Structure 1
Amino acid sequence: MRLNECKITCMHIASAPVLPASASTWLPPDDALRSELHNEVHARPSARIRLPALIVYVAVLNEGVSRQAECEHLRQLPGQADLTLERMQGNFVRLRLDGLTVKWERHTEFTRYSIIQPLPEYAGLGASEPDLLGCLALPQYWFAQIPGRTVAAIQLAMVNAPLDEATTLMAQAVAWLGGRTVVASLMGSNPSQLAGPLAEPPNRHGYGHPMGHSWALTQFRLQADGFERMLVIAPEGTSQTRAGRIAARLLELETYRLMALRGLPVAKALGPMLAQSEAALVRITAQLENKSASDQELLDTLVALAAGVERATAENNYRFAATQAYHTLVRQRIAELREKAIPGTQTIGEFMQRRLSPAMATVAATGQRLASLSERVARTSDLLRTRVDIATEMQNQQLLEKLTHGQETQLRLQSTVEGLSIAAISYYVISLLLYGGKALKALGVPMNPEMAAGALVPVVLWAVWRTTQRIHARLHTAH
């Protein structure tokens, strides 16, 4: 029975209409951002670099620089006149030219240009501070006309050499970098493979080498040509993808280091302003405590101080947050190097820890100091507001007491006026009765009008008073 049901089901599926391959019949409709988010991990793939290679890297701040201007600059490259702006919407373009590769990457604050070409023989490991700009395949004016302001410029040479003779190799590397003190790291070391019976022996490609896969050396100094120099030494057989990852980590490490340091001048410039604001806040708090200044004077001073602090926060909050983000990226790139010390040199991570960490601590402390000052200004404002509210309540209470006293006086006056009104109304009523009596006497009615009016005076007074009381009672009932 189950076999027959399976056959029927299969026949039903086979007879179903065939949809185009692009239409998914297994899933609900895609979210609008699904493809974009899914492909984000492939947005900036690492380059494949064949050693020996020379990478000339320039990172520029792109504030005020449009994507159109960068596209027009890339069109100046040979054979790239047809480059479209739509191709650059993904923030990554790789252009393959004759004998070199140009890579363009646009980020939030900066744009990176990487030119990858073969390293000439005269600039190899045996050279002493070789001229690298003279062998570039692109003209000087193309680099000079890159739109933006330079934040990082690096000449990265990647060469092949065995890593066994460390002393000879270090001497050659130092001579290549100009004979000055270098920062060097053995990259790719795996702590689990440094010792033990299960240590993996190196193969012919260098994979799994217990001592790491390459050397990275630099001085972190600007040369006379405006570039920094880095040197990577890897054994023969290093794959092109590994070489590309090594280059990407080193170049990103230096770029993020410089971008993180952009917060340091801002923090230093804020120092005097923060000191003055803190001193002013202390004076305001003392005056508030001693009641040596009027509320209006304190309020004006405090508002001016709060406005200055909030303006500084608005202007520099992004810079401080970006500094922390870039510093996090620097630490991540250092961790990805998996570096190990080369005897006699300082590793890249140690250099960053000793030189970069104090600057990052200064930026973080300044950001916290600014945030703390803003909170203290807010608390002082609350205290002043409380004092003003209490003074306002006291004034309102005094005003209410005056109004109550006035109402009592008005009530007494009203009572006096009501008594006079009863007398006046009674007088007019008696006068009318007197006139009525005189009229009746004139008609022949035997009566004494004056005696009758006098006798009715108490009755009229009581009637008017009673009527007034009833009117008051109705008014109170209505309220």
Structure 2
Amino acid sequence: MPLFEEHPQRRLLNDEVHARPPVPLQTPEFVSYLAFLHVEDSASREAQHLNDLAAQLGLAEPDASTGHVSLDAGAFRLRWERHTEFSSYTFFRRCAGDDDTVARLALFAVPASWRREIPGQLIVATHVEVRDAADDPPETVIAQDGHEFSPVVASGVTAGAGWVLTDFQIVDGFSRFIVFNRSMTPRQAGRTVQRLLEIETYRVMALLALPVAKDVGRLLARAENELADLTDAMGRSAATDDERGVLNRLTRLAADIERSVARTSFRFGAAAAYYQLVRQRIEDLREVRLDGFPPIREFMDRRLAPAIATCATMARRQEDLSSRIARNSQLLRTRVDIELERQNQELLAQMNRRAKLQLRLQETVEGLSVVAITYYGSQLVQYLAKGGKDFLTPATPEVVTAVSIPIIAGLVALGLRRMRRQLAAEEAAPGH
């Protein structure tokens, strides 16, 4: 078989769809599930923490670089998975049906010192019991309302092959699910439990955006009121300084909103993605309604959907407010630019008038200069004529002086005119 050059990530990408298969579950079996948010450097410490557990149990050091690890300690099994924002630890334990309920919890088979040091912040903690419906009928558990726990949600799953009871309450730090196996195979039971754990995790992760949405709502209420006031001020402004003041306030308001958008866009986007995953996992359960109890889908539609809708509304309000502020800022900038252009036109008109006045003054000065030069020139001619009056007979110095005056004035006027033409030509030449 010929060998081809493979993409370096071909096998990694191919194995991704097989990376996290559901763990087959026998009946009865107990499952404990923990999800920890990544904070600071907690994610980087998880691999070493898993190595410590393997060392305590005498197992080979696991490879955590793939993002998922499975350990079989005999008394329990561990499945660890790293996700974008959190890491999950799922513990499985097979127990006899007559054991004490608390003693059967899978988490208590794990070394206490190790589980207390799991890195990160706990965000989800759940116990799941997989029971045999023939040995422990679900109707009996429901009839014992308040004895073990009071289910508020109950439904058939896998097209009636099993039942699920839960109250979505945290008691002693854990929420609780009971899965009754009627005719599910081990793999079906494993998929059902995995979907329930994902529903619980993604439900809580989606709701992380709700406190953010409430904070954003307060910011938006204040910002919308301020924008309304600024819009009114735009209509009342009569001077450029007033408009510039309004524009400065609009700019500060826009900065506040854009800062909020930058800080919350990921959280709101993640909430929508997590909610979509919740809906998909509920769809995969193939629920069957049981009389007197709402199914998980109905419970989530009544409780979770409004919270996600609130987050989506706040995200849209932020974007809408940002657009409105941008439009008002652009409108105000246009008004300011128009006013500045008008002022510039007035300034240019004033400069033009001053230039004309200066030109007239210059022409007046030039006329006086012609008279002055002519006067001094005629005086020089008179002095010369007096000195050579013997050679000018019969003309007298006075006559010579009188005749020279128009000649001198003409020459001076022509000289000034020629000078102006030369200056005008140099001004009109390229590069000036």
The answer as to whether partners of 1:160 and 1:234 remain within 8 angstroms in 2 is yes
Question: What displacement does 1:130 show?
Answer: 5.2
Counterpart in 1 of 2:133?
161
**Are 1:142 and 2:114 counterparts?**
yes
Change in CA separation of 1:181 and 1:157 when aligned onto 2, cut-off 3 Å: closer
Give, in angstroms, the shift of residue 115 of structure 1.
0.9
**Structure 2 partner of 1:11:** none
Aligned partner of 2:85 in structure 1 is: 109
Offset of residue 453 of structure 1: 3.5
Q: Structure 2 residue aligned with 1:375, among 323, 344, 369?
A: 323
Aligned to 1:186: 156
Q: How big is the shift at 1:175?
A: 4.5
Aligned match of 1:171 in 140, 155, 158? 140
Following TM superposition, the consecutive aligned residue runs of length 4 or more in structure 1 with deviations greater than 6 angstroms are none
What is the aligned-residue identity percentage? 37
Which residue in 2 is equivalent to 1:295? 243
Residue 15 (structure 2) pairs with residue 43 (structure 1): no
Question: Are the equivalent residues in 1 in contact too, given 2:23–2:190 (CA < 8 A)?
Answer: yes
Say if 1:213 and 1:344 are closer, same or farther in 2 by CA, change over 3 A.
same
| Structure 1 residue 162 displacement after superposition | 4.8
Matched, 1:363 2:311: yes
What is the identity, as a one-letter code, of the residue corresponding to 2:420?
H
Say if 2:202 and 2:275, in contact at 8 Å, map to a contact too.
yes
- Looking at structure 2, the residues matched to 261 and 452 of structure 1 have their Cα atoms a distance apart, in angstroms, of 113
Q: Tell me which protein shows more helix as a share of its residues.
A: 2
The whole-number CA distance in structure 2 between the counterparts of 1:296 and 1:476 is: 42
- Inter-partner Cα distance in structure 2 for 1:280 and 1:475: 60
After superposition, the C-alpha distances for 1:134-154 in whole angstroms (9 at most, x for unaligned) are: 883213332222111111111
Name which of 269, 274, 277 aligns with 2:215: 269
Q: CA deviation at 1:91?
A: 1.3
When residues 336 and 438 of structure 1 are mapped into structure 2, their CA distance, relative to the original with a 3 A threshold, is farther
Equivalent position amino acid for 2:36 in 1: V
Q: Which residue of 2 aligns with 1:83?
A: 61
The verdict on how the C-alpha distance between 1:448 and 1:35 changes in structure 2, with shifts beyond 3 A counting, is farther
Aligned counterparts of 2:189 and 2:17: Cα–Cα separation in 1: 19
Q: Does 1:451 align with 2:399?
A: yes
Correspondent of 1:316 among 255, 264, 278: 264
* TM-score normalised by L of structure 2: 0.88
Q: For 1:63, which of 16, 36, 39 is the aligned residue?
A: 39
Letter in 2 for 1:101: R
Moved more, 402-411 or 75-84: 75-84
| SS in structure 2 of the partner of residue 45 of structure 1 | coil
Is 1:463 equivalent to 2:411 in the alignment? yes
1:422 is matched with: 370
Q: 1:306 aligns with which of 254, 268, 282?
A: 254
Does the CA contact (< 8 Å) of 1:184 and 1:217 recur in 2? yes
Please tell me whether the aligned partners of residues 215 and 232 of structure 1 are also in contact (alpha carbons under 8 angstroms). yes
Q: TM-score when scaled to structure 1? A: 0.80
Decide which of 171, 181, 190 is 1:234's aligned counterpart. Answer: 181
Alpha carbons 1:57, 1:113 under 8 Å: kept: yes
TM superposition shift of 1:371: 1.8
Task: For 1:33 and 1:116, locate their aligned partners in 2 and report how far apart those are by CA, in whole Å.
Answer: 32
Q: Give the superposition deviation at 1:172.
A: 3.2
C-alpha separation in 2, matches of 1:174 and 1:220? 19
Residues 270, 305 of structure 1: alpha-carbon distance in 2 compared, 3 angstrom cutoff:
same
Task: For residues 289-319 of structure 1, give each alpha carbon's deviation from its aligned partner in whole angstroms, at most 9, with x where no partner exists.
Answer: 1238922432343233223222222222211
Q: Which blocks of at least 5 consecutive residues in structure 1 are unaligned?
A: 1-20, 190-211
1:391 matched to 2:339? The reply is yes
In structure 1, which of residues 251, 258, 278 is the aligned counterpart of residue 204 of structure 2?
Answer: 258
- Tell me how far apart the structure 1 counterparts of residues 134 and 168 of structure 2 sit (CA, whole Å): 25
1:432 to 1:292, Cα distance in 2 relative to 1, 3 A: closer
Q: Provide the aligned C-alpha RMSD in A.
A: 2.8
Secondary structure at the aligned position of 1:217 is classed as strand
- Alpha-carbon distance between aligned partners in 1 of 2:378 and 2:57, rounded to the nearest angstrom: 123
- The CA distance in 1 between the partners of 2:385 and 2:359, in whole Å, is 38
Distance 2:59 2:157 in 1: 40
Unpaired stretches in structure 2, ≥5 consecutive residues: none
Count of residue pairs the alignment pairs up: 421
Say whether the 8 Å CA contact 1:71–1:83 is kept in structure 2.
Answer: no
Provide the rounded CA distance (Å) in 1 between the counterparts of 2:188 and 2:151.
27
Q: CA deviation at 1:31?
A: 4.2
1:165-213 deviations in whole A, cap 9, x for unaligned?
A: 9xx4322366498141331221222xxxxxxxxxxxxxxxxxxxxxx33
Compute the displacement of 1:433 (Å).
4.4
SS for the counterpart of 1:120 is coil
Distance 1:181 1:239, change over 3 A: closer
CA contact (8 A) 1:159 1:232 kept: yes
Indicate how the Cα distance of structure 1 residues 119 and 219 shifts in structure 2: closer, same or farther if over 3 A, else same: farther
Query: Deviations for 1:309-334, whole angstroms, at most 9, x for unmatched residues?
Result: 22222222211111111111111111
Q: Compute the displacement of 1:67 (Å).
A: 3.5
CA pair 174-36 structure 1, distance change in 2 beyond 3 A: farther
User: 1:8 is matched with which residue?
Assistant: none
Secondary structure of the equivalent of 2:88?
strand
Letter in structure 2 aligned against 1:240:
P
Q: Which one is further off, 396-405 or 351-360?
A: 396-405
> Cα 1:92–1:434, aligned 2, differ >3 Å: closer, same or farther?
farther
Counterparts of 1:10-29 in structure 2, within 5 Å, are 24-25=3-4, 29=5
Amino acid aligned to 2:221: A
